[in-house]
Amino acid sequence: MKYFVFRNNTIERFFPKEYTFSGYDDISCIPKDVDGYVWFYQLPVKYDQEILCSEIRGYAQKLLFVLTQVDAAKPFIILTMDEGGYAAPFTSGIELMSAVSDYNAVLVQAEGEHNNVKLLDIREFTRQYPVNEVFDWRFWFISQMGMNPKLSKPFSDWFARKLDEIALKRKKCLVLDLDNTLWGGVLGEDGIEGIKLGGDYPGKAFHYWQEALLELSKSGVILTVCSKNNEADVLEAWEKNPFMVLKKENFATWRINWTDKATNIKELADELNIGLDSLVFVDDNPTERELIKQVLPMVEVPEFPAQPYELPVFFKEIVEKYFRVYSVTSEDKKKTEQYKANAQRAQAQRSFVDFDAFLKSLDIQITIEAANEFNVPRIAQMTQKTNQFNLTTKRYTDADIRSFIQEGWKIWCISVADKFGDNGITGCIMVNGDTIDTFLLSCRILGKGIEIAFIKKILSLLKENGVKSVNAEFIPTAKNAQVKDFYDRCGFSCVAEDADGKRSYALELKNADLNIKEYYHINLK
Amino acid sequence: MEILKNLFELDTVDKTCSQATCEKWDSMGQLNLVVELETEFDVTLEPEEIGEMKSFNDIIRILKTKVA
């Protein structure tokens, strides 16, 4: 990726070789032939506080101008300004602090107003070092460097990690052990009142840890339990221990039994319909961790801290490493609810013999909506995370999708609700001219024929728009075998198949069967 | 010598290497060179010395006064 960096000091050394740079505090030239932009202005070195402050405020105006000039479909990464950037007299002045915080507030606002803008807080990086290490006057005077060039390696690592996080690569589910992991002590031996949770240390540390995990689950991470215990004991402890923060309803599902954990974890993944590579396993027992590392190498297994007081640091590490996201979408927040509603739905299914009657009873409401400012982040996220029901498994970022829309692609997403709950936006289709580039659905809504209703509706829309025939393809991956014959089932003819199993399809819309069962209530927005 | 070779993306490097003969040895290159040398030889170079450092021979001469 070639990014162009706006800057006011010498910073070339901190970024990859292929990046290009503006002149010092120069916004007169904004190149178009780059993949994205970075804005990295550092605290200017000046003694006159008034000039200094107005210069900082001026930077904010320049940024806002630049944002109006660049392609809104390209990523624009902004770094904050560190008011403690260098150790000089006067820099602790209240005026300077407020100028910098005004500047940073403008950045936060810019992120809120522009979907392509992502804000990174430089202080998260710089506060790991003493000021004298972050800023070295020698390099300021010889090269106008606002940050010590010796930090370039850790800075580039930090920056690269942040870019990865922005690209939405994260895990979905945390599998937690119980004894000595979620609380201190062993439930089977110490009893409900005897386990260490709440009260004095170490119980207090476990209590904080559970609160932290609860917050994590609110951001859309699924919590599950895999523990060697008697299930009845645990259910009782969840209900009766007054300090228990994480209870039955906070876990999407669990395996509390004496079966080996590898088997249990495989079952958990199957039940939740997510890949093993979406799981992070947390257990205090090194033998269990080793077992999972060996038998299920795709599961992430972090080392567990030796002392309970290290849990807050451990929590921060796992969040940063596996679960950090930039904008938590409202879909994320509802996820645990949805996984639970699915379990209820599966039970309802058993009492119907006739599947059509079952579907009819669900009162399925499908909303099809064209891509817009609000759902593009969710669409990008789905292309990144959906593995199983995904015909081509092409991964896109927000910026990619916005540029497709500009190029005239037709992109729709689907929301599905039924009497058990609203699944939110759970699928999308992207059509470039007469070719289906991407078609995917979240596993949460499968098993109800929604995929067929969705594609038929889209084909009808294309037909109304004068499209005569539609092309599509299936690209096999390790995980999408279930959709191998999807287009065949929809009436497409397979026109080619190559040695890797990639298939090309075509469908004449004139003769296609586009009838949709009446019990899908489709609402087009 | 290895430092110069990697830093300035040279195929070969010898004692005649200098700012004049080496395309990538510009002001940015000079800065990178200083950081690499300081890290490798555990020295702190003064701005005056950095200013004088325009060739392989200069580097050797200055480093000798530092390490000695």
* Cα–Cα distance, A458 to A472 (Å, whole number): 13
Task: Read off the pLDDT of residues A398-414 as tens digits, 9 standing for 90 and up.
Answer: 999 999 999 999 999 99
Contact B35 A142 (CB under 8 A): no
Write out the two tokens for A303. Answer: 């080392």
Closest CA to A389 of A334, A462, A444, A330: A444
Three-state secondary structure string covering A127-187 = CCCCHHHHCCHHHHHHHCCCCCHHHHHHHHHHHHHHHHHHCCCCCCEEEECCECCCEECCH
What's the Cα-to-Cα distance from A338 to each of A220, A261, A348, A376, A416, rounded to whole Å? 11, 25, 15, 21, 11
State the DSSP string of A260-309: -HHHHHHHHHHHHT--GGGEEEE-S-HHHHHHHHHH-TTSB-PPPPSSGG
A13 contacts on B by Cβ (under 8 Å)? 28, 31-32, 35
Would you call A31 exposed, middle or buried from its count of C-beta atoms within 10 A (0-12, 13-18, 19+)? Answer: exposed
Contact B31 A13 (CB under 8 A): yes
Mutate to test the interface with B, among A10, A133, A139, A142 (most CBs of B within 10 A): A142
* Cα–Cα distance, A428 to A394 (Å, whole number): 12
Kindly list the strands in the beta sheet with A421-432, ordered across the sheet, starting from the edge strand earlier in the chain.
A493-497, A503-508, A469-474, A435-441, A421-432, A410-418, A364-370, A520-524
* Cα–Cα distance, A123 to A84 (Å, whole number): 9
Contacts of A235 (CB under 8 A, 6+ apart): A248
ipTM of the complex: 0.78
B32 contacts on A by Cβ (under 8 Å)? 13, 149
Look at residue A328 in the predicted model and tell me its pLDDT.
47
Backbone angles phi, psi at A40, to 5 degrees: -135, 90
Look at residue A456 in the predicted model and tell me its pLDDT.
93
* Cα–Cα distance, A213 to A131 (Å, whole number): 33
CA distance to partner chain A, nearest, from residue B19 (Å): 17
- Sign of the dihedral through C-alpha A382, A383, A386, A391: positive
| B47–A contact, CB cutoff 8 A | yes
CA distance to partner chain A, nearest, from residue B14 (Å): 25
Task: Read off the pLDDT of residues A158-168 as tens digits, 9 standing for 90 and up.
Answer: 998 888 777 65
* Cα–Cα distance, B41 to A185 (Å, whole number): 52
The interaxial angle of helices B27-41 and B56-67, nearest 10 deg, is: 30
- DSSP bridge partners of A508: A469
Contact A143 B27 (CB under 8 A): yes
Residue of chain A with shortest Cα separation from B46: A138
Q: Which domains does chain A have, with CATH numbers?
A: 3-166 (3.40.50.1110), 173-323 (3.40.50.1000), 349-524 (3.40.630.30)
Contact A142 B31 (CB under 8 A): yes
* Cα–Cα distance, A395 to A383 (Å, whole number): 5
Contact A139 B28 (CB under 8 A): no
CB A413 within 8 A of CB A379: yes
Task: Read off the pLDDT of residues B24-50 as tens digits, 9 standing for 90 and up.
Answer: 777 778 888 888 888 888 888 888 888
Tell me what the pLDDT averaged over chain B comes to.
79
B34 contacts on A by Cβ (under 8 Å)? 142, 149
| B60–A contact, CB cutoff 8 A | no
Closest CA to A186 of A313, A260, A87, A285: A285
Judge if pTM exceeds 0.80. no
Contact B32 A142 (CB under 8 A): no
Read off the amino acid at residue A73. Answer: A
Task: Read off the pLDDT of residues A37-55 as tens digits, 9 standing for 90 and up.
Answer: 999 999 888 878 888 888 8
Residue of chain B with shortest Cα separation from A151: B35
Look at residue A197 in the predicted model and tell me its pLDDT.
92
**Cis, bond preceding A202 (omega within 30 deg of 0):** yes
CB B25 within 8 A of CB B54: no
Look at residue B56 in the predicted model and tell me its pLDDT.
84
The interaxial angle of helices A311-318 and A203-218, nearest 10 deg, is: 20
What's the Cα-to-Cα distance from A279 to each of A157, A302, A420, A478, rounded to whole Å? 24, 11, 26, 17
Look at residue A76 in the predicted model and tell me its pLDDT.
93
| One pLDDT digit (tens) per residue for chain A, 525 residues | 889 999 999 998 899 989 999 888 888 888 989 999 999 999 888 878 888 888 898 899 899 989 988 988 889 999 999 887 776 665 557 888 888 889 999 998 888 788 788 889 898 899 888 888 899 888 888 888 899 998 999 999 999 888 877 765 578 899 999 999 999 998 988 888 889 998 888 999 999 999 999 999 988 889 999 998 889 999 999 999 989 999 999 999 999 998 889 999 999 998 888 889 889 999 998 888 988 888 898 899 999 999 999 999 999 989 877 886 544 455 555 666 666 666 666 656 555 556 677 778 778 899 999 998 889 989 998 998 888 899 999 999 999 999 999 999 999 999 998 877 777 889 999 999 999 999 999 877 777 788 999 999 999 999 999 999 999 999 998 778 888 899 998 899 999 999 989 999 999 998 888 888 888 999 988
- DSSP bridge partners of A173: A222, A279
Closest CA to A229 of A182, A276, A197, A169: A182
Structural domain containing residue B30: 2-67
| B35–A contact, CB cutoff 8 A | yes
| B28–A contact, CB cutoff 8 A | yes
Task: Name the DSSP class of A12.
Answer: G
- Other Cβ atoms closer than 10 A to A427: 28
Helix or strand run (H / E) with residue A55: helix A49-69
- Other Cβ atoms closer than 10 A to A408: 8
The number of distinct structural domains making up chain B is 1
Contacts of A421 (CB under 8 A, 6+ apart): A337, A338, A341
Write out the two tokens for A194. Answer: 């005897």
Closest partner residue to A143 (CB to CB) among B31, B38, B39 is B31
| B32–A contact, CB cutoff 8 A | yes
Contact B31 A141 (CB under 8 A): no
Contact A142 B38 (CB under 8 A): no
Backbone angles phi, psi at A128, to 5 degrees: -75, -10
- Sign of the dihedral through C-alpha A52, A57, A58, A62: positive
Look at residue A25 in the predicted model and tell me its pLDDT.
87
Read off the amino acid at residue A388. Answer: Q
Read off the amino acid at residue A225. Answer: V
Contact B31 A10 (CB under 8 A): yes
Mutate to test the interface with A, among B7, B24, B34 (most CBs of A within 10 A): B34
- The CATH number for B33's domain is 1.10.1200.10
Write out the two tokens for A225. Answer: 């339990």
* Cα–Cα distance, A206 to A190 (Å, whole number): 16
Long-range residue pairs from B46-53, CB within 8 A, at least 24 positions apart, any chain? B47/A138, B47/A141, B47/A142, B50/A142
Look at residue A327 in the predicted model and tell me its pLDDT.
47
* Cα–Cα distance, A311 to A209 (Å, whole number): 6
A138 contacts on B by Cβ (under 8 Å)? 44, 47
Closest CA to A21 of A144, A112, A106, A108: A144
Mutate to test the interface with B, among A7, A10, A138, A148 (most CBs of B within 10 A): A138
B47 contacts on A by Cβ (under 8 Å)? 138, 141-142
